[in-house]
Amino acid sequence: MKRKKNRTTGRKLFVVTAAALLAMTMASMLSGCGNQAAVDIQTESSDGLISVAFSEVGAESDWRVANSESMRTTFTEENGYEFYFEDAKGKQENQITTLRNYILQGVDYIVLAPVVETGWDEVLQEAKDAGIPVIVVDRMVDVEEEDLYTAWVGSDFKEEGDIAVEWLEEYLEEQGRADEEIQILHVMGTLGASSQLGRTEGLEEGVAVHDNWEIVAQLQGEYTQAKTYEVVSEYLAGSTDIDVIYCENDNSALGVIQALDEAGISYGTDGDVILISFDATTVGLTACLKGKINLDVECNPLHGPRVEQIILQIEAGETPQKLTYVDETYFTPDTLTEELIEERGY
């Protein structure tokens, strides 16, 4: 879709003096942000392309890599876009610096995958003042004024947690363990991320209604295999009285598997410990197919086409739906095949 030449967006053309630009660049270098994108002042794309600028959380997991790839393969030049991408390495301050650069560049659209829910009001107000629509993907932002972002597309993370709890209830029933004392080790994702908040809420609600379920510890796995391996290994050195490990993403589940293998503790469909995971990426589903993970709840990362639909609606003068939830399912070893995993592609 080619850019309309004389698009009136109410957006002021940003003219930044060289001095201001130099000051900002120096400030950013001094602040050690490190990932300050070289700010090249741009007015509207001269070649009719729609400029879409994406601030990504990082590359902490297979899910995140798939999410970034979905955006890259959607917003290509042949599709009519000029795509900007910045990886924040998991730091909100980097995302805020990136958003300010995008605002200064006068891009047409900002897409934000927020690392955590809070702390966005000021920079989103700046984007609004600049007349740049912000589309939030994946995790949610918690802002005073809902009009600080145009639309959001992502997952219902509490629902994902509820799916896991309902499955565990049924599984324990089938195993004749409905009334048994169940010790649950909880490996959380990045604290304050909507995905962590929702999946944690689902588990904690489930534990609240089952007097025989107990969360023995809540560890911070930060959605990575390395950190999860570190904290779970440390925990297992003190206690191995665990019936379930609830990991808030697949990369954490791989870290748990690594720690359990080293501790000689069995897990999965034929083991002592029930392993629950989230994301349903290739690495998680492959472990699930082998019976190492008992349940993998899907969290779909392919937001590129969904964001494009929102942008095309705005370009057509339409108002997009404010919140769009992605339909998701779950997988167990008996529902998986190598072909199915291959077909999913991420």
Nearer to ligand GZL (CB atom), residue 82 or residue 138: 138
When binding is defined by CB under 6 A, the residue of 52, 187, 193, 283 that contacts ligand GZL is: 193
| Number of helical H runs and strand E runs in the chain | 11, 12
Positions 201 through 230 that interact with ligand GZL (CB under 6 A): 223
Residue 298 binds ligand GZL, judged by CB under 6 A: no
When binding is defined by CB under 6 A, the residue of 139, 186, 227, 306 that contacts ligand GZL is: 139
For the four alpha carbons of 188, 191, 192 and 193, in that order, the dihedral sign comes to negative
Binding-residue pattern over the window 95 to 114 for ligand GZL, x denoting contact by CB under 6 A: --------------------
When binding is defined by CB under 6 A, the residue of 64, 100, 227, 303 that contacts ligand GZL is: 64
Nearer to ligand GZL (CB atom), residue 50 or residue 310: 310
Return d(Cα 25, Cα 22) in angstroms, integer.
5
Residue 195 binds ligand GZL, judged by CB under 6 A: yes
CB hemisphere CA count around 227 (13 angstroms): 18
How far CA 123 is from CA of 103, 134, 149, 191, 318, in Å, comes to 9, 11, 11, 21, 25
How far CA 188 is from CA of 66, 219, 277, in Å, comes to 21, 6, 11
When binding is defined by CB under 6 A, the residue of 97, 150, 200, 249 that contacts ligand GZL is: 249
Q: What angle do CA 324, 328, 333 make, to 5 degrees?
A: 170
When binding is defined by CB under 6 A, the residue of 56, 156, 162, 279 that contacts ligand GZL is: 279
Candidates 57-65, 76-84, 172-180, 329-337 — which segment interacts with ligand GZL by CB under 6 A? 57-65
Nearer to ligand GZL (CB atom), residue 51 or residue 195: 195
Residue 61 binds ligand GZL, judged by CB under 6 A: yes
Ranges of H-type helices in 209-248: 225-236
When binding is defined by CB under 6 A, the residue of 75, 109, 278, 330 that contacts ligand GZL is: 278
Q: Which residues does 204 contact at the CB level (< 8 Å), separation at least 6?
A: 215
Residue 51 binds ligand GZL, judged by CB under 6 A: no
When binding is defined by CB under 6 A, the residue of 60, 86, 296, 308 that contacts ligand GZL is: 60
Return d(Cα 46, Cα 314) in angstroms, integer.
20
First-to-last C-alpha distance (Å) of the chain: 27
Nearer to ligand GZL (CB atom), residue 153 or residue 244: 153
With beta carbons less than 8 A apart as the criterion, state whether 145 and 122 touch: no
In the complex, the residues that contact ligand GZL under the rule CB under 6 A are 60-61, 63-64, 138-139, 155, 193, 195, 223, 249, 278-279, 299
